[in-house]
Structure 1
Amino acid sequence: MHIHRIVPKPSYPLYVCYPDMFGRYAEFPLHEERRESGALQEYNLHLVFGGSGYAVGHGGERVELKAGEGFLYAKEAFQQYGSSRSEPWDVRWIHFTGALPSGILRAADEAGAWLFSFSGMTRIRELTDRMYELSDPFGLESEAAISALLYELLVHLDQDTESLTGAATLRKRNEIREAADTIRGRCQEPWDIARMAELTGYSPYHFLRLFRDVMGRTPNRYLTECRLLEAKLLLATTGLAVKDVAERIGFSQASYFIRVFRGAEGLSPSAYRELHGRHGHS
């Protein structure tokens, strides 16, 4: 497979990121490049989905890259990489400009090259496949969508990449996010730290520290936020009594629910319903 798209410069000048060219190479052993410093004015992102190959890192070392790994070269950086001749990469790549506060862009800018492992292959396939579709043929009406897809891809990678020496960290991060999704989907159930930690197999202490690092708040704070989100939906879309809302989302006492809700939202559940409930508000 050899997909290679080149898109015109965007007519709208304020996109936070936009591709210059992108594509996918599979069973293409001639995919090999060496660019001197200053030769390429865009970032160069490669995501490996199969096969093997190499990239030269910022220290000049040649690093072997396989599925689930990739590299990002900064603008104007020296670049050298290539696919194995005997086991060619299945690689999705993008040359792009970007001006967004991104950890992976910052890492590439500081070192010239950022070599990493990544997760979420299914979503990345979906995003890049959609970019290929929108650019064949290219129309001006596709500009915003292509920029948005690239932005989502970069945000995804910002959250789900780790340096090649930090693969274990990436695995732990993904385990915490999976646990967070489970807790959100079952937030009405009786959770404590021990039960939450069982979702990952970590000790309660280790789980608490990891969860706070990954999610930016404690598990109990996160659980409360999930429950209050469900409460707001019930208050806005149903006629359930406040005590029934409290019970349905996992609060055993309506008075405690009211106090927590008021502390988070600045108004009582009844006042929230009056403001956002089924009276034609939107």
Structure 2
Amino acid sequence: MMKQRVLPAPAYAHYVCYPEFIGHYSDFPQHAERRSEGMLNSYNLHLVFGGSGYVFQNGIRIPMGMGRGFLYPRGAYQQYGSDPVQPWEVRWVHFSTSLSLPLLEEADQSQGYFFTFDLNAGLENRFEEMYLLSNAYETQNEPCLSAVLYEILVTLLQNSEPLHGSVPLEIRHSIRRTADIIHNECERPWTLESMSRLAGYSSYHFLRLFRSTMGKTPNRYLSECRLARAKLLLVSTEFPVERIALQSGFQQSSYFIKVFKEAEGLPPSQYRRSFRS
């Protein structure tokens, strides 16, 4: 099966990302590409959902099976294809973007980013949604096409690892589950040690894994969750500041006011007056 669509340049010129060519191949053992340097002036993303194939990088053949993918930057030399015996099922998109994301930067620097991704992250559905939008193309679909592509890229950012990544996906999922519990129960007297025990790691390893997965330290994340809870209570309740501090995880209202003012630039009472509907 070969499904592909070429999209015209968008009528609106300021999307942060936009697909140019979208495809879905399966049972197509002849699929193979070899592009010289400078031939393709767009990013090229492929995700493998079944079967197997390969890419070449610096003369080395890299197997590409289910749950693997690759991203080439603009102008890169490209060589890849399907296994003729077990042809891959691959969804792909060529796209332009002005985004600055770590996976794009990695592709730019290394002339090819090769990774594993979580098959349960919903990426297959997002690709199908993008394909359907392009199949029934109208100019009014442009914002949705851009938004779905952006969702694909950010989902990959959160649910992929280099083929030789330092933090496996299952560990990242464990850290995110821990982060969700901390967010929902931010009023608890969390410490680094109690958060580490919840995740099942030593404090040293938890700190490293959390920073790598969430992009911030556990204590900073906890503080942001508590401030978000406090802002919601300020604008949606009549609770006094002392009660809001306690229900947001701050044991002392004076410390809560200090932290809130440092983060928001104004004290809680003024925030309530300014943002309350």
What residue number does 1:31 align with?
31
Superimposed CA distance per residue, residues 127-183 of structure 1 (whole angstroms, 9 cap, x where no aligned partner): 212212211211011112212221232233234333211164554444333322221
AA matched with 1:257: F
Secondary structure in 1 aligned to 2:122? helix
The two structures have a TM-score, normalised by structure 1, of 0.88
Which aligned pairs between 1:1-282 and structure 2 lie closer than 5 A?
1-57=1-57, 59-119=58-118, 121-166=120-165, 168-277=167-276, 280=277
Alpha-carbon contact 2:49-2:119 (below 8 Å) kept: no
What is the root-mean-square deviation in Å for CA atoms of aligned residues? Answer: 2.2
Higher deviation after alignment, 224-233 or 258-267: 258-267
AA matched with 1:180: A
Q: 1:217 to 1:72 in 2, by over 3 A?
A: closer
Secondary structure in 2 aligned to 1:3? strand
Count of residue pairs brought into register by the alignment: 277
The two structures have a TM-score, normalised by structure 2, of 0.89
Alpha-carbon contact 1:48-1:90 (below 8 Å) kept: yes
Q: 1:167 to 1:83 in 2, by over 3 A?
A: farther
Q: 1:165 to 1:129 in 2, by over 3 A?
A: same
What percentage of residue pairs aligned between the two structures are identical?
49
AA matched with 2:231: K
Question: Matched residues in 1 for 2:5 and 2:44: separation?
Answer: 14
Q: Where in structure 2 are there 5+ consecutive unaligned residues? A: none
Alpha-carbon contact 1:68-1:121 (below 8 Å) kept: no
Q: Where in structure 1 are there 5+ consecutive unaligned residues? A: none
Alpha-carbon contact 1:52-1:88 (below 8 Å) kept: yes
Alpha-carbon contact 2:6-2:22 (below 8 Å) kept: yes
Alpha-carbon contact 1:117-1:167 (below 8 Å) kept: no
Alpha-carbon contact 2:42-2:94 (below 8 Å) kept: yes
Alpha-carbon contact 1:258-1:268 (below 8 Å) kept: yes
Superimposed CA distance per residue, residues 22-45 of structure 1 (whole angstroms, 9 cap, x where no aligned partner): 122233323222223333232221
Q: 1:250 to 1:75 in 2, by over 3 A?
A: closer
Question: Matched residues in 2 for 1:253 and 1:108: separation?
Answer: 47
Question: Matched residues in 2 for 1:218 and 1:108: separation?
Answer: 26
Secondary structure in 2 aligned to 1:236? helix
Secondary structure in 1 aligned to 2:4? strand
Question: Matched residues in 2 for 1:218 and 1:38: separation?
Answer: 41
Higher deviation after alignment, 91-100 or 172-181: 172-181
